[in-house]
Amino acid sequence: MFFIKKVALLCFCLIFFNKGCAPPSKIDNEEKFVSVVNIDDTEKIQAEKFIDIHDLGRKITLHSNFNEFLGHIPDGKWKSRVYLARVDELPIGNSYGKLDKWDMALENGLVDGLVRKGLTVAEKLDHISPRDPSEFIGTAPEDAFYMHGLNLNDLFLIENEIKAPNLMTYQIIDFSDKDLAVVVYLRMIDLQSMKVLTSALITVGEEINWLAEGDIQSFNDTYDIVKNIGDFPRALFQKKINMGLLNTDILNISGTYNNEPSKRTMSIENAIITGLIHNEKYKDNDPIIMEKTKGFKLKYHSVYENIVFNTSPLLYEEWSEFIEETNCNMLMMYRHIPGNGLYIKIIDVKNNGRIIYSNAFAFNGKIDEGIIGNHDSVADQFKENVNLSLLKNKKVLIIDGDKQAVESQEYFASQPSFNEMNLIIEEGMMTALVSRKIPTYEKLKTLYLKRPWMYENKIFNLNPLYLDSWSQLKEFGVDMLVVYNNLIPYEKLSPTHPDYKNIALSIRLIDITTGDIVQVSEFTTIN
C-alpha cells in the first residue's frame, strides 16, 4: 500500500513539473491563438457589413446609368487622371453631415469600381478643402444658385500638382447602411475649361427614404422634359459655347428665391444638366455647360421696386460684363414650377442678350394649375392677333404697361405679390416672337418706370417708361416696343378661381424710331 501511494505521488510531481516548467513563449503563443479564434461576434459582423457596403459602392459603377455616364466622356479624356470628391450639399453652403466608416466603405467601393472600369483615380492627401460659404452665401450682391462647392484655389492644385485634369464629384442623395441602398449623383468636370463633361443619377437598392423619393421624382420629371426637347436651337450645341445655368425662380419679382436652395432644388438643376447631355442634339466632344464658380451676381432686392417688370435678375448693365465675370457666352434661364412644369429661356449673351429659345413644358402626368396652359394660350393668340410682319427685322423689347397711367400707386403696391402666372403671360409672348425668328431681347439694364407723382398735371395716358425721348431707348438696342396690359389680377386670385386659367390682354406696338403706335390688339379666353 505504501508502495502504491509513493508511485502515485511521484507521477503527480512529474505532471506538475512538466506543466509548470513549460517555456513561457509556448504559453503565450497558445494564448494568442485562442484569442484569435474567439474573435468577438460583433466585430465579425461589422467587418462583414463593411465588405457589403464596399460592394454597394462598387455596384454604382455596374449600373447601366454609369455606363452611359462614361459613354459621354469626350474622346481623349478617358485615360486622364481623375480626382474624386464628395460634395453633398457643399454647393449651397452646408457642411458635411456626420460621416462614419460606412461612408468610407462606400467611397472605397466606388473607387474600386472606377479602377476596374479602367479609370486612374488619385489618392487624396490634405490638399483640398470645401469652399468657404461666405464667398457665395449671404453676400451683397447675392450669388445665384448653385455655385461650385470646392475651394477655387484648390482646383489649381488638383490640376497642376496632383496632375488630375478631371474632377469627379458625387452627391449622396440617400444612403442606408442597414438596407444596403444608395442614391448618388455624379458629375465629371474638365478643370482646364471648367465645363461639365458628363452627369448621371444612379440608384442602387430598393429601400429609399421618402424624402429622397421626392428629390428623385423632381430629378426624373425635369430630366424627361429636357432630354426630349427636340426644338433646341442648334446654335446652343456648337463649339466654343460656354453656357451658364440660372434658376430665375421669382427673383425678378421679389429679388429672393421662392423655393429655398435645398437638395430638391439641386436635383432639379442636376437633372437639367443631365438632360442636356443626353439630348439628341448634344455633341459629346463639344461640351457646353459651365460649372458655376463666380460672377453670377444678382440685383439688389430694392431695385425691383422701381424697374420694369420681369427684368433679368442678373446684376450687370451690359452683357459684356457678364461674359467677363463668368466666361459664359450663352445663358439658360429656367424656372421650375412645382406641380406644373418647367419654363426654359436661352439667351445669346454675345449677341447683346438676344433670346434664341423660349418655351414652357408641363410635367408628364402632372395636373397643370393653368400656368403652362396659359403660356400656350398667350403664345397661340399672340401669333394669331398681332401683325408680326410689323416686327420683322425689328429688335423687340416687351414691357408690362399694366394700368400705370391711372393706378400707378396700386401697381407698385401689388407688383411684389406677382406670381408665376404673371411671369408666364409675358413669357408666352416671348415664345411667340422667338418661334417666328423675331429678334427679341432680354431686359438686363434697369429700365425705370414713372413714379406716381410724375403723372400729375400731365396729359392723360402717358407711356409708363421714365423717358424724356425715345432716343434714350436706343442704348438698349431695340427698335420696337410691345407694351401690354394684363387685365386679370392673378396675384389676387387663388389657383381654384375660375378666371385664374383665363387670359385677357391688351397690346400696343410702338415704333421707337418714330414714336408711332403701329397696332393695337386685344385677345382673351373669357367668353
DSSP string, 406-439: HHHHHHHHHGGG--HHHHHHHHHHHHHHHHTT--
Which residue positions in the chain have pLDDT lower than 70?
Answer: 1-40, 367
In 3D, which of 434, 218, 494 has the Cα closest to residue 340? 218
The pLDDT tens digits for 478-493 are 899 999 999 999 999 9
Confidence at residue 2, expressed as pLDDT on a 0 to 100 scale? 42
d(CA 498, CA 495): 8
The answer to whether 299 and 255 have CB atoms below 8 angstroms apart is yes
Angle at 424 between CA 423 and CA 429, to 5 degrees: 110
The verdict on residue 482 lying in a domain is yes
Give the per-residue pLDDT at 475.
79
For the chain, the 3-state helix, strand and coil shares in percent, each to the nearest 5, are 40, 20, 40
Answer whether residue 506 is part of any domain: yes
Question: What cell does 3 get?
Answer: 508502495
Query: How crowded is residue 339: how many other Cβ atoms within 10 Å of its Cβ?
Result: 11
For all residues of the chain together, what is the average pLDDT? 90
**From residue 484, how far is each of 230, 258, 307, 507, 521 by CA, in Å?**
30, 26, 16, 4, 9
**pLDDT of 39:** 58
Q: 454 lies in a domain? A: yes
Global pTM reads 0.90
Whole-number pLDDT of residue 21 = 45
Does residue 509 lie within any of the structural domains? yes
Residue type, 361: F
Structurally, the chain folds into a number of domains equal to 1
- Say how many Å lie between the first and final Cα of the chain, rounded: 130
In this prediction, residue 366 carries a pLDDT of 74
Asked whether residue 218 is domain-assigned, the answer is: no
Residue 242's nearest CA partner among 293, 286, 198 is 286
| pLDDT digit string, tens, across residues 171-189 | 999 999 999 999 999 999 9
Q: Is residue 491 part of a domain?
A: yes
Main-chain dihedrals φ then ψ at residue 309, nearest 5 degrees = -60, 145
Long-range contacts of 125-128 (CB under 8 A, 24+ apart): 127/154, 127/157, 127/158, 127/161, 127/162, 128/83, 128/85, 128/154, 128/157, 128/158
Residue type present at position 439:
P
Q: Is residue 362 situated within a structural domain?
A: no
What cell numbers appear for 494 in the block?
387663388
Would residue 445 count as lying in a domain? yes
3-class DSSP state of 183: strand
Q: Which structural domain, as residue segments, surrounds residue 390?
A: 369-527
